[in-house]
A and B are shown apart, each in its own frame.
Chain A
Amino acid sequence: MSYTLQQFGGMVTDPIRMGAYTEALKAAIKPGDIVLDIGTGPGTTALLCLELGAGHVFAIDPDPSVRLAKHIVELNGVSDRITVIEGVSQDFHPEKLMDVIVADLRDRLPMNGPSLMSMMDARDRLLEPGGVLLPTVDTMFVAPIEHPGVYESIVGPWAHDRFDMSPVIAKVVNLHEMRRSAPHQQVAPAKQWAEIDYRTITGPDVAGAVSWTIEADRTMHGYEIWFATEVGFGLGYSNAPDEPELVYGSEFFPLSEPLTLRAGDELHSELDARFLKGNYLWRWRTRQVRGGETVAAFDQSDLGASLDDPRQILSMQRPDHRPTLTDEALAERITLNAFAEGASVAEAVAELEAAAIGKYQGEVTVEFVKSMSLRVSKK
């Protein structure tokens, strides 16, 4: 996932986050070091690294905001010492290895699209032996949360007196979202759920199980997960509910139904984030045990919120399936063939018009071919 310029703004002006990164970079960078800044955006961290003594900085990001970084390094007269690259670090093949690699690829949590894959690749392939990788360790915490207001905002619109809308409720309780609760809303004390040690992790999947014995009667509506980080050299910050709020936020995972917990009940929770096809698929399982008997159990996941019918997808992927192309696919095929044979945009429009496919006439054809040109042209 990439960030908006406003989000980059939030990141570089978050004094706690920026303070920890700055101090860790001060400790990490020796004069003349080669530094890689992954996810540089408009280039603030790259400029900071140079200011702290780096000899050269490679600033890389697939996000278009990196185009501003190119202009910014020129504006600041350092284009000979900062190399700005629009792309992903996995495609970066430098002649020399890096002394320091710095990144903050997190969203609300460290698992953010290919973020962990990028960190592992950079560590294994781009870092000089003995070099410094920042951040070092992210630790994630989970707490069971009592938050009727949030829960009501999720299921309330579908809890009708007049109509049975329960199939919608069954879907929306599998949607997790950014929330930040107050410490008193924790039904039981937060516990460590998982740890990502960037120096040693070997895969992108993150999983953990946590259990509590409930001490007082409470209602539970979901879980909240947040992280604390050690950026490096003992410096870090925490996004815990009892700490000052940071730019990141926390993630709230609702339960299928609110749980009425009694003192003495056991609560067993398993939370998994599995990296699948470039994104994380979350699953959260809950078991409430009273007197040795399971009295409630939920098994929730992102898949439970899906409105797609995978059976249709499955049938279309069978080896013997013969696809019938949609009008759009036919139009793409004609346009691509035209481009591949050297046609201009205007010539491709003429070819597509001549093919007379469904809606692809007049202005629609022109706009379609223009957008195809934008999508498939080498920059």
Chain B
Amino acid sequence: MSSPNNNFRTASNVLFNELSDGEAVLLDLDTENYFGLNAIGSRTWSAIAKGESLRPLIDEISAATGTDAAIIEADIDELLATLLSKGLLEQGDS
């Protein structure tokens, strides 16, 4: 999926609300379903919404947690795949 390149865009039917603890919820306006995002998911979403590369975020998390960047990238890929499968993200021009 190559997440650092970030060729994703947030779906137009999805609203984002960051909560007081840094986590966030997404509201799918078409189904009126809510989805929870943890703090890293929330930051990933924000980066995609701004059209930013995910590389700085991956590197930052890797440095802060001492985890190999490839593992972080795989985790974010998994998150992106889930968001895509739920129709919350779209693939295409950012």
Contact = CB atoms under 8 A, between A and B. Distances in A.
A191 B18 CA distance: 31
Contact of B25 (A281, A297, A311): A311
Interface string A280-294: 010100010000001
Interface residues of B, number: 18
Contact of A303 (B10, B27, B49, B94): B27
Contact of B16 (A270, A274, A294, A299): A299
Contact of B29 (A274, A294, A307): A274
A311 B36 contact: yes
B51 interface: yes
Contacts of A303: 15-17, 27
A297 B51 contact: yes
A309 to B, nearest CB: 6
Contacts of A307: 20
A203 interface: no
Q: Say which size band chain A's interface belongs to.
A: 20 to 34
Contacts of A310: 17, 25, 27, 34
Contacts, number: 47
Interface in A257-290: 270, 272, 274, 276, 281, 283, 287
B55 to A, nearest CB: 16
A303 B17 CA distance: 6
Given A299-B49, A313-B34, A276 B29 contact: yes
**Interchain residue pairs A-B with the least CB separation, the first 6:** A310-B34, A303-B15, A303-B17, A297-B50, A294-B51, A310-B25
Interface of B: 10, 12, 15-20, 25, 27, 29, 32, 34, 36, 49-51, 94
17 contacts: A272-B12, A274-B29, A276-B29, A294-B94, A296-B50, A297-B50, A299-B16, A301-B16, A303-B16, A303-B17, A304-B17, A306-B17, A309-B19, A311-B25, A311-B36, A313-B34, A314-B34
